[in-house]
Amino acid sequence: MNVKLDPWGSSNIDDYSKLFDEFGIQRFDELLFGIEQPSSYMRRKIIFGHRDYDMITRAMNDNDPFAVMSGFMPSGKVHLGGKMVMDQIVWHQQMGGEAFVGIADREAYSVRGYSWEKCKKIGIEEYILSLIALGFEPEGHIYFQSQSRNVKDLAFEMGVKANFSELSAIYGFNGQTNIAHMVSALSQSADILQPELEEFGGPKPTVVPAGADQDPHMRLTRGLANKMNMFLIEKRTDKNNVPFVSVRSKTAPVDALEEVSEALPWDTKLFEGHVDIFGVDDLTKLKEITMEVEMNNGGYGFLPPASTYHRFMSGLQGGKMSSSVPDSLIALTDDPDDAARKVKKAKTGGRMTLKEQKELGGQPDECSVYELLVFHLSDDDGELAQIHSECLDGSRMCGSCKGLAAERMAEFLKDHQEKRELARERLEEYGL
């Protein structure tokens, strides 16, 4: 299929299921039964895929530490697509995760050519105020990339493990790509791994909620997390086909493998450059021990970050949402009455005539108005099921859905914008 996923451009995904084979993304619905209080995005299959999210579900269920991290490039108005990511950050924070949000001003500076002052203004006025208004608590961490020493230092160190060929293969960089753009990609990896630094409690499962177009960042970061670690853990079998686990040194000090061998509760054989372990019945415990030894020897012990992927919203006029077509999207700072008018003009899944609608039924799964209700404007799964059924059987007309969605959109924006003004008064609580 050769789907092109471009974090800075326009990714066209017509069939999300093909991403499982193309990029190795895993199906999210296989994890749903193990989540005690799934979010509406999970229940409604808006979140369709993941990488290693089972680490997060285990941490949530066992009350173990975990983190949620995502970021926003301050490039314009935040719309309902950005709200989806914010909602997921807030939900994970409510589930016990330590929350991190990076404002990617280095990315906006290098990719969009925005000044630092413009990046800061957009970052606060559009993104941070809405994030707080949606429920982000001050126990979390909000920061600008350009002001984070952690991010800058970690990006520099990871630059030793990355090269142009790798960045070119992942992002399509070429001889015309400026160096700052490449550095901004490493900065994103540093953003994602920052929650695992020692000052934040050390390595822990970390999830990044994102649209599928952001998966290139995850592939780069997961690869760099492994490259930064001192040890390589591999499952093997000996000449008699007996399974064992080998811990191999990549950059570990000479004595570190001996420390690993002495700390393990299983039978071990120490060799130059690796230690073989027999009878391992708990791979997680083995990883924890090697991680502790690594950190005692000045390493990071990073866990490859997890991720979730959600479906994109359609534009209100059909096709994609585009900031160059204001009527295709609703911004969180839009006038509530203007937003309601956009909804009333939106493309639906209705038939050409009232007669056809009654005879053939509508097409709710191709309706941008029904999508607004599913993604943002209804907390009631039963209500949505009823609307879907009535649309299909032709007993519900498009006008009633438009009226309902328009009214709720206006109410949501009015309430949200009032909360944004309250958030403005609380910026100091968030260190801003």
pLDDT category of residue 6 using cuts at 50, 70 and 90: very low
347-398 pLDDT, tens per residue? 887 777 788 778 787 888 889 999 999 999 999 999 999 999 988 888 888 8
Question: Cβ–Cβ contacts within 10 Å for residue 127, how many?
Answer: 25
Give the model's pLDDT for residue 19: 61
pTM for the predicted model, two decimal places: 0.89
Residue 406 has pLDDT above 90, yes or no: yes
Question: Cβ–Cβ contacts within 10 Å for residue 48, how many?
Answer: 20
163-190 pLDDT, tens per residue? 888 888 888 888 788 888 888 889 999 9
Give the model's pLDDT for residue 78: 92
Residue type, 300: Y
260-305 pLDDT, tens per residue? 999 999 999 999 999 999 998 888 889 889 999 999 999 999 999 9
Give the model's pLDDT for residue 242: 87
Rounded CA-CA distance 82/80 in Å is: 5
pLDDT category of residue 145 using cuts at 50, 70 and 90: very high
Per-residue 3-state assignment (H helix, E strand, C coil) for the chain: CCCCCCCCCCCCCCCCCHHHHHHCCEEHHHCHHHCCCCCHHHHCCCEEEEECCHHHHHHHHHCCCCEEEEEECCCCCCEHHHHHHHHHHHHHHHCCCEEEEEECHHHHHHHHCCCHHHHHHHHHHHHHHHHHHCCCCCCCEEEEHHHCHHHHHHHHHHHCCCCHHHHHHHHCCCCCCCHHHHHHHHHHHHHHHHHHCHHHCCCCCEEEEEEHHHHHHHHHHHHHHHHHCCEEEEEEECCCCCEEEEEEECCCCCCHHHHHHHHCCCEEEEECCEEEEECCCCHHHHHHHHHHHHHHCCCCCCCCCEEEEECCCECCCCCECCCCCHHHCCECCCCHHHHHHHHHCCCCCCCCCHHHHHHHCCCHHHCHHHHHHHHHHCCCHHHHHHHHHHHHCCCCCHHHHHHHHHHHHHHHHHHHHHHHHHHHCCHHHHCC
Q: What is the overall mean pLDDT for the chain?
A: 89
Query: Do 242 and 278 form a contact (C-beta atoms < 8 A)?
Result: yes
Rounded CA-CA distance 404/413 in Å is: 14
Rounded CA-CA distance 289/287 in Å is: 5
Higher pLDDT, 340 or 390: 340
Residue 17 has pLDDT above 80, yes or no: no
When mean pLDDT is compared over 93-97, 160-164, 324-328, 357-361, the highest value belongs to 93-97
**Rg for the chain (alpha carbons), in Å?**
24
pLDDT category of residue 18 using cuts at 50, 70 and 90: low
